Structure 1
Amino acid sequence: MLVFPNAKINIGLNIVEKRPDGFHNIESCFYPIGWSDALEITKSEAFSFETNGISIPGDNADNLCKKAYETLAGDYELHPVKMHLLKAIPIGAGLGGGSSDAAFAIRALNDFFKLNISFEKQLDYARRLGSDCAFFILNKPAYCFQKGDRFEDIDLKLAGKWIVLVNPGIHISTIEAYAGIKPAAAKTNLRDDLKGPVADWATRIKNDFEATLFPKYPLLKEIKQRLYADGAEYASMSGSGSTVYGIFDKQKNLNTYFKNYKVWQGLLG
């Protein structure tokens, strides 16, 4: 079985409060995009997990795909499989690639073994693995809140818009990103702001991480300014960085400007 875990962007990201458990409550719009990894699952005599493509820091034993298998194996009798992950989504880039891998592993194992796990139970398994893993079970535009693991439907249609994502190769850990954050209630209602034209978002919709990370990494601000200079209707850092994206009303090819960085461009669905 072969599946393609896709990335997401954050449209708006407000850090509203710190929780008693040490996490933060947020509000954001998560929007799926086409930049994808590839995960293959095949029968095997013994469980194994291997990767290629972008190098993943740490031990394979800690990978969320493996943990997804172990989580389901705690409740179901699963035969051994070989899991092979081709990593293409940048790591520490604010795109949720690792979370998507985990969620797609749950979905694929459910289909592979014909477990008939309910949608709600798949969400529960995903929440055990990470704050935004559950979104990729849903995998459609959503208003996200609490730890980023609770969702409400949102009427946001960007189909036909062109998106350009630029990743300069800076790895920003979650701990580093939150180090300078001072949580506060948002000054405007994100759901209402998203109802306006994309061209109006720049004055109302923001990513709180930009205020602390742009001074530390001026290159990220420069990329955002370049996207606006080339006609982006809206540009922002995604998640806790370091990917910056621009939304355009027509196709763009900005490889000339960003030839030294990872760039992904495509239509929004």
Structure 2
Amino acid sequence: MKILEKAPAKINLSLDVIGRRSDGYHEVHMVMAAIDLADRIECSELPGNRIVLHSSVPYVPEDDRNFAYQAARLIKDKFGISKGLQLTIQKRIPVAAGLAGGSSDAAATIRAVNRLWHLGMSYETMLDLARQIGSDVAFCIKGGTALATGRGEKISPLPSLPPCWVILVKPAVSVATGQIYKEWDNRPAVHPDVDAMVRAIHVQDFDAICALLGNTLEPVTMEKVEEIAKIKAHMRQIGAEGILMSGSGPTVFALTRHESRMQRLLNGMKGYCPEVYAVRLCKPFALLSEYE
């Protein structure tokens, strides 16, 4: 039997860093939203006690450096499973782009293996596994829109945004998240108003949501990737209602409620970068434990 799971990317609507914690991680306060640009995870049993992972792109690791592989190994260890497992990842989310592609692959693996082996994991059990892998994996377990605190592992669900289009533009460069946070530590920071963003989402004020988009990491990455400022300026000229870099970058996204403006943004940005997407926001996953 083969199990298929969708692994949506995420964007950060508001990302603030409070400071470095004693455990080496950073304390964050951020609002994230899942979008309908997704990898696909396929999992099935294999003979023998092993994990075999294949990716559709050659530069994604296929061993224990891969978050999806780590997720599978954690589940096998937790439940004492000696069966073999094959994972196949069809990548659509750009790699090292600030979109949590690897984290979402891990979360999708947890959901898929739960179904494959009928483990009956609760949401809290899935979260516990997710927290052992990476900071964004916990959000990606259920997706939707949420406030994330701590090092990103404490998740508080929020209502979905008003209907809108998300246009993503990924420059032909990648950045290392760890390096961006390290440089953030050594410079004055601009702090977005995350609490105001949460309030705007609750009252469904799209104009306020666009005005409050903010990312404390954006100035750091912009110094390294000049294309980000050019992309933002061009999106602004075309008429996007809200524009921001996602995560540690370098992907920039724009929000618009208008299909005609979405088409103009999509067409206008394709001349700037090879990777341009127009997608919708995703609703939260209905987990098996919630309706079994």
Do these two structures clear the TM 0.5 threshold for a shared fold by scoring above it?
A: yes
> What residue is the counterpart of 2:171 in the other structure?
168
Matched, 1:35 2:42: no
Partner residue in 2 for 1:60:
63
Q: Identity of paired residues, percent? A: 28
Q: Deviations over 1:96-150 (max 9, x none)?
A: 1100111110111011100111110110001101111011112121011111111
Partner of 1:262: 275
1:162–1:32 Cα change, 3 Å = same
Residue in structure 1 matching 2:226, options 208, 215, 218? 218
Distance 1:157 1:203, change over 3 A: closer
In the TM superposition, residue 151 of structure 1 has moved relative to its aligned partner by 1.4
Deviations 1:155-176 (A, max 9, x none): 3423x20110011121111122
Aligned: 1:9 with 2:11 = yes
Task: Tell me the amino acid that sits aligned with residue 122 of structure 1.
Answer: M
Q: Structure 2: state its 5+ residue gaps.
A: 283-292
Distance of 1:156 and 1:173 partners within structure 2:
30
The structure that is helix-richer by fraction is 2
Kept after mapping to 2: 8 A contact 1:181/1:212: yes
The verdict on how the C-alpha distance between 1:15 and 1:193 changes in structure 2, with shifts beyond 3 A counting, is farther
1:263: how far off? 1.3
Shift of the 87–187 alpha-carbon distance from structure 1 to 2, 3 Å rule, reads closer
When residues 187 and 248 of structure 1 are mapped into structure 2, their CA distance, relative to the original with a 3 A threshold, is closer
1:240 match: secondary structure: coil
Which residue does 2:131 correspond to in 1? 127
CA–CA distance in 1 between the matches of 2:58 and 2:75?
A: 26
- Determine the structure 2 residue equivalent to 1:191: 198
Task: Tell me what 2:290 maps to.
Answer: none
How large is the RMSD of aligned CA atoms in angstroms? 2.1
**How far apart are 1:38 and its partner, in Å?**
1.0
Q: Report the Cα distance in structure 2 between the residues aligned to 1:138 and 1:95, rounded to whole angstroms.
A: 16
Cα deviations by residue, 1:217-261 (Å, 9 ceiling, x for unpaired): 110111112222212111100001011000011222323432442
Question: Secondary structure, in 3 states, of the residue corresponding to 1:67?
Answer: helix
Alignment of structure 1 residues 16-31 onto 2, 5 Å: 16-31=18-33
SS in structure 1 opposite 2:42?
strand
Gaps of 5+ in 1: none
Q: Give distance in 2, aligned partners of 1:196 and 1:208.
A: 24
Give the TM-score taking structure 2 as reference length: 0.85
**Paired residue for 1:74?**
77
* Residues 37/196 of structure 1: CA separation in 2 closer, same or farther (3 Å cut): closer
Decide which moves more: 69-78 or 30-39.
69-78
- TM-score normalised over the length of structure 1: 0.91
How many residue pairs were aligned? Answer: 268
Deviates more, 1:105-114 or 1:251-260: 251-260
User: What CA deviation, in whole Å up to 9, does each residue of 1:50-82 have, x standing for no partner?
Assistant: 333333344523211111111011121432121
